[in-house]
Chains A and B, each alone.
Chain A
Amino acid sequence: MYEAPAQASLSYWQLVRRRLAANRYGMAGMFGCVLIIATALFAGFLAPYGRETKNVAAIYSPPQLVRVYDGQLSAPFVYGFGEELDPITYEITFVPDPAQRAEIDFWVTGDTWSLLGLMEFSTHLFGTEPGKFIHILGTDNLGRDVFSRMLYGTQITLLMGFVVMAAACLLGVAVGVTSGYFSGNIDAVTQRIVEFVKSFPDLPLYLALVALIPRRAEPLTVFILFAAILVLLRWTDISRELRGKVIAIRSMEYVRAAVAVGASDPRIIARHIVPNTSSHIIVWATYQLPEIILLETFLSFLGLGVQAPMVSWGTILNQVRDTQALVAAPWLMAPVGMIVISVLAFNAFGDGLRDAMDPYSNE
């Protein structure tokens, strides 16, 4: 007779967690994802200024170096810039001016910000005494702090990512599961639709559809329409993959056994089909997020996506669309760093999840 082992049985998800914890790259990716999401949540706290706060005294001012040494070690501080006009080329150069020294203070009070629109705060991680400014990543053409705007941009970019991912996921899963489980005519029709949507060359189609969004609409409306377009063209992959998976699971003996005990279709879908595809869906969603982030950033970079006054990484990059602007203020490319970090993090996390989700594979 069988004797149960002494220690408690691990559920599927417990096994996944253990395997993920053992994967260094996956854990690094997860850490990065958490960091990025936290940045979005607490952008207001981490940023010294609001997204529209202007420093009219510093248009296109370059990044300031954080210094801790002025002949002797001191608390961190920055120098403001003095402008110098080159007498020959008439080029304006910014030169750090020790006279305009600003000490960096922590837990300073400044512009109010809200956490998820619920609570209002006015404390910031760092800042300077009133009347002085700190721009560690410089400013743009209106004198707005690039660092602050980049952090606020995380919010819109991630929001777009999650909204599109969730909606595409819901749509794709619903269509894929129905199509795979019931087969027959429903399947034939949905498969033709999926093929149809997939057959368009996607970049030109995005551009064409985005062009339909009325330019003068409310930014929020543009945001929603933009998201809708992304969803419309994103749900097909998961629906097709899931369909294949569901067809495979449908013929598994445990599903046939459920039919044999008299279980109904909704019950079989809810208890047998969906739980056994959930790992697949989660992995897909994780990979989807960086793709949506990139798409949003690229289209906003072209000026076709998110509209001002909303700030996303792409809209900041949009300010250096032409070479002249790039020459004038290369520091506006700072969001590239955020994009690379987030894309690497979400993909590494996705890889880790994918490997961990198959815990019964060869050890």
Chain B
Amino acid sequence: MNNPLLLDIADVSVDFRTIAGTVNAVRRIGFAVRHGETLAVVGESGSGKSVTARAIMSMLATNATVGADAKIVFDGQDISNYSEEQMCQIRGDRIAMIFQEPLTSLNPLYRVGDQVAENILAHRPMSKSAAAAEVVRLFEEVRLPEPEARRAQYPHQMSGGQRQRVMIAMALANNPDLLIADEPTTALDVTVQAEILALLKSLQRKHKMAVILITHDLTVVRKTSDQVVVMRAGEIVERGATEKVFKDPQHEYTRHLLASEPKGRPDPLAEGAQPLLVGQNVRVSFKTKHGSFFARKTLDEVAVNSLSATIRKGESLGLVGESGAGKSTFGMALIRLIHADDGTIKFDDVQIDGRSRKQMRPLRPRIQVVFQDPFSSLNPRMIVRQIIEEGLIVNSIGATSQARKQIIAEVLADVQMPADVMDRFPHEFSGGQRQRIAIARSLALRPEFILLDEPTSALDLSIQAQIIDLLRVLRAKHGLSYLFISHDLKVVRALCHNVLVMRNGEIVESGPTEQVLGEPRTAYTKRLVNAAFYADATEPADQSPAD
């Protein structure tokens, strides 16, 4: 593309003043965007992507300063020294921005229509009714169903995908030349993600906007961008045409990032492996109270509707689906951490449904669990040694403190952590390290089965790959069986022999992973697969605004 330059930034540095001293979040970076082009800014958390975007918009926090020699040339004008007043005229009019969290990016007190109209009225002289008509037109353009009725809704009455559409409508309101999208799809389910990306793409073409897309998702980058900038620790390590960077990455870090997409396949499962954990017709419902004080009704909300699953010895079974599908509830019910109303559950041929918490205790060391959020899964008041030791003490494993210490050192080695972390508190570790400690806590009890509840979804991409590798190694070494809950099909493909696809409390498809993901039979699975591997909305988004 040889369109003229729209934005050209050079020598942009951003420092934050904190109690601990000055932090250089961004160091002398520069890049350029041409009219109508999409530039992707890629990097892991803390790389300075979002800070850069806010520096362009002059929307940094009050404790941040932009380096004095920074140049931000927008459409031929250096805007780096613009006053707040001058920037107000550019923001929302010529440069628009959308954010990661559709749940919180709209003001809860005002109708969404008014919030979009506010943007129009701030920049264009127009009557309120004309602005309202304009809002309807914009809502149509972003394919919100029933645009007229939506205008009067409050944010909390909408789904995440719909809110993100409202945000896009707001951004488009004054036909901006540049749209900055800060992780616009990260908080959304995969299929919605694909629709929003498709929408952005088509709108960009139509309005001939330039887009700066900030993301950590390489599939999205490959699919949507013309140029890419790779950031790490506040610096740009590589830039170039997307095709070229993906084909022939120059910098070691880019290569590392590209390699961190989960790869490989699980080791084959032994023939004739015996069933270990079997759930049949497991049903879970939650009681919710409705109605007034006098006509109180208790409603049963069925989260898991009579589902069955079998995990054999040495098997990894994947359980995939979008948020709210009931995956975690089903998994927790199978290991009796959530009460199931109905159904039979057997572990190693012993019936475990109907057992009290006390009766479950002898089985607990054999059935373990690793949770999603590494930041809340470790007690902040205990040192690592106490965290891992608790299970040993409770289950009388290791007679003396010395023996227990030995076991703890062994499992820490298993998860590739040195033994001297034992005396440290969880807050000193990063997310990936905490997740290793959580795995060590489970492993210390020598379990046969581990429920992995989205253990990698809170982690950066490269860390994710390391944890998947670790889980694979541990399974082979200790002969473990996994039930692996995830919304990320790539991870599931790399780790699981078989897979169950869940939607709204039901299983819609099941079978060997390669088969289900390779030739999905149901439309839903097809959509999941396309969204995950190709960042594509299977059906054109204008026909199925799914939410």
Partners in one complex: yes
Judge whether B420 and A4 touch: CB under 8 Å: yes
A257 at the interface (CB under 8 A from B): yes
**A/B interface sample: 16 pairs, CB < 8 A:** A5-B428, A9-B383, A9-B428, A11-B425, A254-B378, A254-B379, A256-B369, A258-B390, A260-B368, A261-B391, A261-B441, A261-B445, A263-B391, A275-B381, A360-B427, A363-B18
**Chain B residues positioned under 8 Å from A264 (CB to CB):** 394
Min distance, Cβ A361 to any Cβ of chain B, angstroms = 11
Min distance, Cβ B272 to any Cβ of chain A, angstroms = 30
Judge whether B391 and A12 touch: CB under 8 Å: no
Which residues from 359 to 390 on chain B have a C-beta closer than 8 Å to any C-beta of chain A? 360-362, 364-365, 367-369, 371-373, 376-383, 387, 390
Min distance, Cβ B326 to any Cβ of chain A, angstroms = 17
Nearest opposing residue in chain B for A259, CB measure: B337
Judge whether A256 and B394 touch: CB under 8 Å: no
- Contact pick for B372, options A5, A253, A254, A271, CB 8 Å: A253
B348 at the interface (CB under 8 A from A): no
A254 to B378, CA, bound (A): 5
B19 at the interface (CB under 8 A from A): yes
In the complex, besides A1-B418, A2-B429, A253-B373, 4 extra interface pairs with C-beta distance below 8 angstroms are A2-B433, A253-B376, A254-B387, A263-B390
**Chain B residues positioned under 8 Å from A272 (CB to CB):** 379
Min distance, Cβ A359 to any Cβ of chain B, angstroms = 8
B409 at the interface (CB under 8 A from A): no
Give the size range of B's interface with the partner: 35 or more
Known: A260-B335, A262-B360. A3 touches B391 (CB 8 A): no
Judge whether A256 and B337 touch: CB under 8 Å: yes
A114 at the interface (CB under 8 A from B): no
Which residues from 419 to 465 on chain B have a C-beta closer than 8 Å to any C-beta of chain A? 420-421, 423-425, 427-429, 433, 438, 441-442, 445
Judge whether B373 and A276 touch: CB under 8 Å: no
Binding site for B on A (CB under 8 A): 1-5, 8-12, 252-254, 256-264, 267, 271-272, 275-276, 360, 363
B417 at the interface (CB under 8 A from A): yes
**Chain A residues positioned under 8 Å from B394 (CB to CB):** 261-264, 267
A103 to B365, CA, bound (A): 79
A259 to B380, CA, bound (A): 17
Known: A1-B418, A2-B418, A360-B380. A261 touches B424 (CB 8 A): no
**Chain A residues positioned under 8 Å from B202 (CB to CB):** none
Judge whether A276 and B423 touch: CB under 8 Å: no
A360 to B381, CA, bound (A): 12
Nearest opposing residue in chain A for B432, CB measure: A2
A262 to B397, CA, bound (A): 12
Judge whether B376 and A252 touch: CB under 8 Å: yes
A267 to B382, CA, bound (A): 14
Judge whether B427 and A262 touch: CB under 8 Å: no
**Chain A residues positioned under 8 Å from B418 (CB to CB):** 1-4
**Chain A residues positioned under 8 Å from B423 (CB to CB):** 8-9
Nearest opposing residue in chain B for A251, CB measure: B376
A211 to B418, CA, bound (A): 67
A363 to B442, CA, bound (A): 32
Min distance, Cβ A259 to any Cβ of chain B, angstroms = 6
- Contact pick for A262, options B20, B364, B378, B417, CB 8 Å: B364
Nearest opposing residue in chain A for B427, CB measure: A360
Judge whether B376 and A276 touch: CB under 8 Å: no
Which residues from 1 to 37 on chain B have a C-beta closer than 8 Å to any C-beta of chain A? 18-20
Considering the complex of A and B, which 4 residue pairs feature the smallest CB-CB distances, nearest first? A261-B391, A262-B364, A253-B377, A253-B371
Known: A2-B429, A262-B391, A363-B20. A257 touches B420 (CB 8 A): no
Min distance, Cβ B366 to any Cβ of chain A, angstroms = 10
**Chain B residues positioned under 8 Å from A276 (CB to CB):** 379-381
